[in-house]
Amino acid sequence: MSFARLVREIGIDIPVRAVLDELLHIGSAALLPDGEVELRREVHIPTAESEGKLVLLGSDTAELFSTIMHNIEHGDAPWLQRKVVYDNIGSAALPALHDEARHAGLDFIRRANALLASYDRDRHPDAPGGRRSRVVVGVYYFEEPVVTPEPPDEEPDDAPTPKRPAPPGRIRRKS
Beta carbons within 8 Å of 158's beta carbon, 6+ residues apart? none
Answer whether residue 19 shows pLDDT above 60: yes
Q: What is the pLDDT of residue 69?
A: 94
pLDDT of residue 26: 78
For the residues 116-137, what does the mean pLDDT come to? 93
pLDDT, tens digit, for every residue of 108-126? 999 999 999 999 998 889 9
Q: So where are the chain's domains?
A: 1-46, 74-126+136-144
Q: For the residues 17-35, what does the mean pLDDT come to?
A: 84
How far, in Å, are 1, 7, 10, 19, 94 from residue 4 at the CA level?
8, 5, 10, 9, 42
pLDDT at 91: 95
pTM over 0.85: no
Q: Which residues of 11-29 are buried (b: 16+ CB within 10 A; e: fewer)?
A: eeeeeeeebbeebeebeeb
Tell me which of 152 and 76 has the higher pLDDT: 76
Q: What per-residue confidence (pLDDT) applies to 39?
A: 82
Q: At residue 158, does pLDDT exceed 70?
A: no
Mean pLDDT of 79-103: 94
